[in-house]
Structure 1
Amino acid sequence: MTATSVTASRSGARIERLPLARFTTLGVGGEAEVWFVGNHEQLAEALEQPYRVLGGGSNLVVADEGVPERVIRLTGPLAEADLTPDPELSDAETVVTGWVGGGVPLPGLIRKLQKLGLSNLEGTVGIPAQVGGAVWMNAGTRYGEMFGGLHTLEIVTPGGTRQVTPDELDWGYRRSGLSRGHVVSRVRLKLRRSDPEEVRARMDFADQARKGQPKMKTPGCAFKNPGGVSAGRLIDEAGLKGTRIGGALIAPEHGNFIVNLGGASSRDVHALLDLIRERVGVPLELEYELWPEQG
């Protein structure tokens, strides 16, 4: 790819046309106009035209043609974390933090919380997301999810900025209750005081359960577990583990993961998703987000 020019918006946001594969854990996806926004003024300007928000790039499959909308990345102050306890809301057992930007990488945040002896989010260890995206989809594992540690969410839309609590949202398994287009710009965390070594032990236990997952480029789990049944088990029983199309592979380690062997295209991944739906005997709901969406 040839070098692209970098421009600035009127509020100072950096704008560059880039391949989205660079920002996704799967490593596929065509180009888009990327806005790097570091404050609320820049974010408000970015929302003036059709947009998408890209966090850590996990749980996402982007089309080979890219997307026509501008793509927003949170940087600067919107990617910083103030973990200082709020004295008016914290007590001997509970800590409510200052604001944590939506662009903060979740893995680093979990490590900081462990060192501070703050519990409630260690079950999300190993999820390669940013805070905003992890909250938007209520990312988690069987050992915990993002809404287990939230006090307040700051939500930005073209209509303005508002703050909500988890009780105001219809959140649940892998969903926050927020509509598409809502940007989780910042959150405040509600955490439980604990011993740092106890938090580390719970992190290690949760992480150990992930050892059977593939280490290659992957968006994560492809499908939600239907009715409490393991989607990975259903895919395994259909004899699909190890199936390859182009550069994409249904992981031999775990059937609910699709990996990029190198040079995979979005079309390869979609072909495997279609094959799984065709061969598994029950309806499966995607956990991946698709850009653009399919009707």
Structure 2
Amino acid sequence: MSAATLSRNGARVERQPLARYTTLGVGGPAEVWFVADHAQLAEAMETPYRILGGGSNLVIADEGVSERVIRLTGPLAERDLEPDPALSTSEEIVTGWVGGGVPLPGLVRTLQKLGLSNLEGTVGIPAQVGGAVWMNAGTRYGEMFDGLHAIEIVTPEGVRQVSPTDLNWGYRNSGIPRGHVVSRVRLKLRRSTPEAVLAKMDFADQARKGQPKMKTPGCAFKNPGGVSAGKLIDEAGLKGTRIGGAMIAPEHANFIVNLGGATATDVHGLLTVIRQRVGVPMELEYELWPEQP
């Protein structure tokens, strides 16, 4: 790990291992930029870069990545949940800006306490808001685009605001191109009660009870043709299969877990075994850094 320096616009820059920022706990080093405003973000985007949010759904190579890695901090990790009086009604509210670096789990819990509905289906997803929007993260009970009014996107050409209707979004896809950063969003939420929202969250959370509690990126593969990927992997007899410190979880076959000391190479080995043994094409839900052919 190198000593931190400041960029010309004041972003903190430091070479760090990326494993500390991923839910799987693997990943080699990179130059990490901690940006707190649009000027710092624009500067960080001047050369090839990657955005790293909550670190879920991600497997980073043991060698790390050559691009600079951007983390949203400061004002870009703050939230304003006050209703906008010009856009809110007796049934629905539109909030102020919520930074892309805001942790999603804490946001969902806060909305529950305020009795605001539309995002409870994302309960338990260990992401930051920007990354969750970029991939339209969710569960069978709801997804990020259920609760979006406006999205602020930073591109190499500048900052622009779009609405969900401007994007060709769908299952685990926002329609936002690579090279574009979700810096902030405004939420569109339905007025409810804390008790009613909590009941929906508990219902969605019950479906997660069979998932492993160890370090994991989340589901490894998308469901092919509506068939459960976990069921296919289980039927191939792969639950509990281990390579190095990584294992296909006994609780749920579509999860790979870090038993301690796992490497990205171990995880890639298990992904290869799954694809070889399951009799249908399997599309990764993980994002791989760097991308694989």
TM category, shorter:
over 0.9
Aligned mate of 1:119, from 98, 117, 120? 117
Aligned mate of 1:99, from 97, 100, 120? 97
Aligned mate of 1:144, from 142, 145, 153? 142
- Consecutive unaligned residues of structure 2, counting only runs of 5 or more, are none
TM-score, L = length of structure 2:
0.99
Q: Deviations over 1:201-253 (max 9, x none)?
A: 11111111101000000000000111111100000000001000000000000
Equivalent residue number for residue 222 of structure 1? 220
Equivalent residue number for residue 194 of structure 2? 196
Amino acid in structure 2 at the alignment position of 1:218: T
Aligned mate of 1:56, from 54, 78, 84? 54
Equivalent residue number for residue 2 of structure 2? 4
Per the alignment, in what secondary structure is the counterpart of residue 87 of structure 1?
A: coil
Residue correspondence of structure 1 range 23-34 to structure 2 within 5 A: 23-34=21-32
What is the deviation of 1:282? 0.8
Aligned mate of 1:248, from 246, 249, 252? 246
Per the alignment, in what secondary structure is the counterpart of residue 202 of structure 1?
A: helix
Q: Deviations over 1:20-60 (max 9, x none)?
A: 00000000000000000000110010001110000000000
The separation in 2 between residues aligned to 1:284 and 1:96, in whole angstroms, is 39
The separation in 2 between residues aligned to 1:249 and 1:182, in whole angstroms, is 34
The separation in 1 between residues aligned to 2:116 and 2:214, in whole angstroms, is 31
What is the deviation of 1:104? 0.1
The separation in 2 between residues aligned to 1:205 and 1:270, in whole angstroms, is 33
Q: Kindly tell me the number of residue pairs found equivalent between the two proteins.
A: 293
Equivalent residue number for residue 74 of structure 2? 76
Q: Deviations over 1:228-282 (max 9, x none)?
A: 1110000000000100000000000000000000000000000100110111111
The separation in 2 between residues aligned to 1:228 and 1:181, in whole angstroms, is 30
What is the deviation of 1:125? 0.3
What is the deviation of 1:122? 0.3
Residue correspondence of structure 1 range 275-294 to structure 2 within 5 A: 275-294=273-292
Equivalent residue number for residue 65 of structure 2? 67
What is the deviation of 1:4? 2.1
- Consecutive unaligned residues of structure 1, counting only runs of 5 or more, are none
What is the deviation of 1:150? 0.4
Per the alignment, in what secondary structure is the counterpart of residue 162 of structure 1?
A: strand
Percent of aligned pairs sharing the same letter: 81
The separation in 1 between residues aligned to 2:37 and 2:228, in whole angstroms, is 41
The separation in 2 between residues aligned to 1:228 and 1:149, in whole angstroms, is 25
The separation in 2 between residues aligned to 1:227 and 1:167, in whole angstroms, is 26
Equivalent residue number for residue 129 of structure 2? 131
Stretches of 4+ moved more than 4 A in 1? none
The separation in 2 between residues aligned to 1:180 and 1:261, in whole angstroms, is 32
Amino acid in structure 2 at the alignment position of 1:244: R
Q: CA RMSD in A?
A: 0.6
